[in-house]
Chain A
Amino acid sequence: SQQGEEDPQALSIQEGENATMNCSYKTSINNLQWYRQNSGRGLVHLILIRSNEREKHSGRLRVTLDTSKKSSSLLITASRAADTASYFCAWRYGGSQGNLIFGKGTKLSVKP
C-alpha cells in the first residue's frame, strides 16, 4: 500500500485535554501536511511543515517532523467538541510535483 501509518487509529478524549496523533511515512519528502475531515465531508488543509523544519505552530495546533525517523506528530491543545473529526497526514515524494500520499488517519472524538 502507498499509505503510511497513523496511530492511534482512534482516540477519544474529554474536552480540554490535549490530543496527539502520530504519522509515519516511507520515503524522502518535500513537506508534510495535515488535513482534517468531518464525517462525510471533504478534507480541509490544516498545516504544512517543510522537510527542513522541525516544529511548527498554528493556533492550537503544533506539528513536529523528524525526517530521520520518517515521522510526524500533530498535537491539538485544549481540545473542543468541534475538533471531533478524522485527521490525516499527507506527503509528496521528494522532487515530485504530482500526487499527495495520505495516511490512513486518526479518528478523534472529543466529548463535552
Chain B
Amino acid sequence: DTGVSQNPRHKITKRGQNVTFRCDPISEHNRLYWYRQTLGQGPEFLTYFQNEAQLEKSRLLSDRFSAERPKGSFSTLEIQRTEQGDSAMYLCAIRDVENTGELFFGEGSRLTVL
C-alpha cells in the first residue's frame, strides 16, 4: 500500500463523453503529480500541485484536460470530450517532502475510449 488511492480503477467511455478521475492520498503531502502512461511507454508528466496551487503543466495537458486540488488534499483530473487517443493509464503520485524526491504512485485509473 503506497498510501495513494485512485478511483475508478477502470473507466470505459464513448468518444465525446467527459470523465473524471480522483486521487486520494491517505495522509497529508504537499506535492501531488499526475502522469499518463500508454501501453509499452514510460509515464509522461501531466501536471503537479504544491498544496492547492497547480505549479506546472505539461504541453500534453490540452484545454480538454483540467486538474484541481481544491483543499490541498485529494485531486481530480477531468477530461472533456474524450478522444480515442486519450486511452491510457492515468497515474497519481505523491512526493514526501522529507525525502529526496521519490514518488509514491497509486495503482492508476485505466481509461478506454471507444
Contact = CB atoms under 8 A, between A and B. Distances in A.
Interface residues of A, number: 24
A43 B4 CA distance: 12
Contacts, number: 64
The interface size bin for chain B is 20 to 34
A42 B91 contact: yes
B56 A98 contact: yes
Contacts of B100: 30-31, 48, 50
Contacts of B33: 99-100
Interface stretch (A14-22, A59-67, A102-110): A102-110
A1 B84 CA distance: 21
Given A30-B101, A33-B102, A42 B42 contact: no
A87 to B, nearest CB: 10
Contacts of B44: 2-3, 102
A104 B105 contact: no
30 contacts: A3-B44, A30-B100, A30-B101, A33-B101, A33-B102, A40-B110, A41-B107, A41-B108, A42-B107, A42-B108, A43-B43, A43-B93, A43-B103, A43-B105, A48-B100, A48-B101, A48-B102, A50-B100, A90-B103, A99-B48, A100-B33, A100-B45, A100-B101, A101-B45, A102-B35, A102-B42, A104-B40, A104-B42, A105-B40, A105-B42
Closest 8 CB pairs of A and B: A102-B42, A42-B105, A99-B45, A45-B102, A43-B105, A42-B107, A98-B56, A102-B43
